[in-house]
Amino acid sequence: MSSSTSFSDRRPSRLVLGVAAAAPVLAAAVLGSFATTPNIPWYDTLAKPPLNPPNWVFGPAWTTLYVLMAYAFYRILRLEPATPGRRAAIIVFFAQLVLNAAWSFAFFYARSPQLGLVVILPMAALLVATIVLFWRLDRVAGYSLAPTAFWVAFATYLNAGIFVLNR
């Protein structure tokens, strides 16, 4: 590399971008697990709506969704930083990710299906916005978040059903 090459001309390696994409998603997953795991006994006592899956389904489902989220985010991070719409997409992605982790604290840690609904509804809206913004930049990134949107829609149904059945 010549001495005239500026720092901004250097692209981060795939490894650096992969870590940068995975770290916040992993943080959200770990925080969510921290709030959820000790409260599973409480959850088991709640009346559940029809179609509620067994508890063992949630771990593999969320693990898969978090991997897809990190992959989608990686695809956006590897775009040129000056790409129009990239910054907004990243901001909205982080906003929905924060609400993703916050939902576990609202629903499980606070043991409040009502508060869970207060969090999951804007989270779902921000997730859809993220999909649109990602799709405009990289269709694979947008499509990679679609399973999360379907799962969050299903989780919203479950959350609402639990709220109604346990008032």
pLDDT of residue 151: 98
- Contact between 150 and 112 under an 8 Å Cβ cutoff? The reply is no
Chain mean position to CA 2: 41
pLDDT at 75 over 70: yes
Rounded to whole angstroms, the Cα distance separating 91 from 112 reads 28
Q: Tell me the per-residue pLDDT of 7-55, one tens digit each, with 9 for 90 and over.
A: 456 788 999 999 999 999 999 999 999 999 999 999 999 999 999 999 9
Q: Which domains does the chain have, with CATH numbers?
A: 12-165 (1.20.1260.100)
Q: Among 13, 133, 15, 12, which residue's Cα sits nearest to residue 72?
A: 133
For the segment 59-72, what is each residue's pLDDT rounded down to a tens digit?
Answer: 999 999 999 999 99
* Burial readout 112-128 (b: 16 or more C-beta within 10 A, e: otherwise): ebebbbebbeebbebbb
